[in-house]
A and B are shown apart, each in its own frame.
Chain A
Amino acid sequence: MPPMLMIFRLKRPERRPISLYIPLLLAYIPLLPLVLLALVSLPFLAISEKTRQYLPLVKALPSLLIATRGTRISVESNDHTIYLYIK
């Protein structure tokens, strides 16, 4: 299952912290037409030997997206704290 939520937090001194819970489904929906277009064009791409070599790579890309679940990045400095979590 691909990551469904991205949590972004920004803390700054003497300012209200910002916490964003971004449902990634909102990012996937606009990408859906592109995915459909890619699926339709796959048989045409498979005609050429040169482009056919790249098809396994394209097919494996979703696994890379799925594997990003659990990634956390945090940066703390005197001025701010940035936290990013892909859930």
Chain B
Amino acid sequence: MSEERMRILNLLAEGKISAEEAEKLLAASEKAVKAPNVKSAAGKYFYVQVDPKEGKSSEKVMVKVPMALLKAGLNISKLIPSEAQDSIRESMQSKGIAFDFASLDGENIDEIFEALKEMSIDVETEETTVRVFCD
């Protein structure tokens, strides 16, 4: 049973919400899990582009990933059991990456994707130019 479902049932058991409210909340939480908001990301792509500088012999790389794939990945990360999330968090923290899966909810994911639309990262090295952007 998911944590969210358990929380709703606990609220019902404690009498803080009615059976009807619990039913609505459960239906909404199931809907959120089953139907990730992929439509809004339709037609949008995430690009990683590596261009060699003039006269350099580096490879030219272009990776085009549908935003729906990123969104599906983030939505799946929410379904990772808390026990596994803890060990992932500990492992990432030991490598200096402070990232908490539990902080990812539907709103945060939408915010991340809104921010990604505006995002553009350019990295210039002696040999290549790396661009990460969305379109």
Taking Cβ atoms with an 8 Å cutoff, the residues of A that contact B are 50, 52-54, 56-57, 60-61, 63-64, 66-78
Contact = CB atoms under 8 A, between A and B. Distances in A.
B64 interface: yes
A76 B60 contact: yes
Interface stretch (B14-22, B69-77, B126-134): B69-77
Contacts, number: 69
Nearest to B62: A74
A42 to B, nearest CB: 16
A27 B93 CA distance: 38
Chain A at the B interface: SS class: mixed
Nearest to A52: B1
B79 A68 contact: no
A64 B62 contact: no
Interface residues of B, number: 28
B69 A68 contact: yes
24 contacts: A50-B83, A52-B1, A53-B83, A57-B80, A57-B81, A60-B72, A60-B75, A60-B76, A64-B76, A66-B72, A67-B38, A67-B73, A68-B69, A70-B45, A70-B64, A70-B68, A71-B66, A71-B69, A73-B61, A73-B63, A74-B62, A75-B61, A76-B59, A77-B60
Interface in B25-79: 33, 36, 38, 45, 57-66, 68-69, 71-73, 75-76, 79
B87 interface: no
B73 A64 contact: yes
